[in-house]
Structure 1
Amino acid sequence: MFPVLNTDRLVLRELKINDAQAILNCFSNSDVLRHYGQNALTSLDQVKHIINNFSKNYDEKRGIKWGIELKGQGGIIGTIGFQEWSTEHRRAEISYALFPESWGKGYAMEAVNRVISFGFQEMDLVRIGAIVFTENDASNKLLTKVGFEKEGILKKYMHQNQVPYDTYIYSLIR
């Protein structure tokens, strides 16, 4: 059973096929993608395939991805989750993206704190990692604020629009 997580203002829930248009809108937006290290999504079929992969990854304990919903509003304002989940090594990497109209309202902080808590308490993680473009000031500040430690720089680690970027690697240890 997919875990539904609640915060004061948010519900973190399983992504469904009817979220596909919102996900397409988010992940085809150049403002969202400029520090994300992924090519723009281009079709609903592509997004539906990704949603099915998220479900499969969760079933196989390789990752978990939530849709971020404002309580009482329906729809989603972004996504958050863990990938590179290793039950053997008790670690995973966190990633998140919010739609631009939801930036600067503290939603990312609220979601990140809840997911970290779930990761340590329910998934029995010992390490949560994060890889962030060095230019992504908002994400770098957020991770530092919630207690992540910057471990170093991965040079030319991610490409965005065929351009290589350096990233910081962070960890939060239980």
Structure 2
Amino acid sequence: MIPILETDRLVLRELTEHDAQDVLNCFSNADVLRHYGQNPLTSIEQVKQIINNFSKNYDEKRGIKWGIVLNGQEGIIGTIGFQEWSTEHKRADISYALFPESWGKGYAKEAVNRVISFGFQEMGLMRIGAVVFTENEASNKLLTKLGFEKEGILKNYMHQNGVPFDTNVFSLIKDKTS
């Protein structure tokens, strides 16, 4: 069972099949996907399979994905999680996506901060990475503000709608003193 995480305004909880329509809405939205490197999702069945895979990935310690919910509300406003989780190498990559109506309100910063502390304190990570489209100004700014260091650029690393994009590679290394 994926642990529930809380912040002042948010609850990060396991995605269930009840979230399938919200996940479909999020990941079929062109604005959300513009800098995500994923084809649009097309059906509830496809989404339910993906949600079941999230649970399996967590059980197998390969990844973890939460739904982001506003405190006191039901439906999700986005997702956040780790993929490429390696317990052996104590690292994982973070990714997140919010519905456009939730952009610019500080929710991503709040969720990312909480997930970073969970990664370092509960998962035993020493390195959290992020791969971000160079054009994704909001995400590049957010990660920099949270202490991530830009390590370089990967040329033509991700494709969106058949178009290759360069990505920035970021890392946040656990402070040895904490």
TM-score category, normalised to shorter length: over 0.9
Look up the match of 2:147: 147
Extract unaligned runs of 5+ from structure 1: none
Provide the rounded CA distance (Å) in 2 between the counterparts of 1:129 and 1:6.
Answer: 22
- Give the fraction of aligned pairs with identical amino acids, expressed as a percent: 82
Look up the match of 2:77: 77
Look up the match of 2:100: 100
Provide the rounded CA distance (Å) in 1 between the counterparts of 2:30 and 2:75.
Answer: 21
Coordinate RMSD, CA, aligned: 0.4
Question: Given the alignment of the two structures, is residue 118 of structure 1 paired with residue 124 of structure 2, yes or no?
Answer: no
Provide the rounded CA distance (Å) in 1 between the counterparts of 2:131 and 2:93.
Answer: 8
Instruction: Report the number of matched residues.
Output: 174
- Deviation at 1:153? 0.2
Letter aligned with residue 27 of structure 1: F
- Deviation at 1:2? 1.6
Extract unaligned runs of 5+ from structure 2: none
Letter aligned with residue 140 of structure 2: N
Provide the rounded CA distance (Å) in 2 between the counterparts of 1:118 and 1:99.
Answer: 23
SS at match of 2:51: helix
SS at match of 2:21: helix
Provide the rounded CA distance (Å) in 1 between the counterparts of 2:157 and 2:15.
Answer: 28
TM-score if structure 1 supplies the norm length? Answer: 0.99
Provide the rounded CA distance (Å) in 2 between the counterparts of 1:85 and 1:139.
Answer: 21
Provide the rounded CA distance (Å) in 2 between the counterparts of 1:128 and 1:136.
Answer: 19
Look up the match of 1:54: 54
SS at match of 2:131: strand
Letter aligned with residue 8 of structure 1: D
Provide the rounded CA distance (Å) in 2 between the counterparts of 1:2 and 1:97.
Answer: 19
Q: 1:1-174 alignment to 2 at 5 Å?
A: 1-174=1-174
Provide the rounded CA distance (Å) in 2 between the counterparts of 1:73 and 1:123.
Answer: 28
TM-score if structure 2 supplies the norm length? Answer: 0.97
Letter aligned with residue 95 of structure 1: S
- Deviation at 1:101? 0.6
Letter aligned with residue 109 of structure 2: M
SS at match of 1:172: strand
Deviations 1:49-97 (A, max 9, x none): 0000000000000000000000001110000000000000000000000
Provide the rounded CA distance (Å) in 1 between the counterparts of 2:88 and 2:137.
Answer: 33
Provide the rounded CA distance (Å) in 1 between the counterparts of 2:34 and 2:2.
Answer: 30
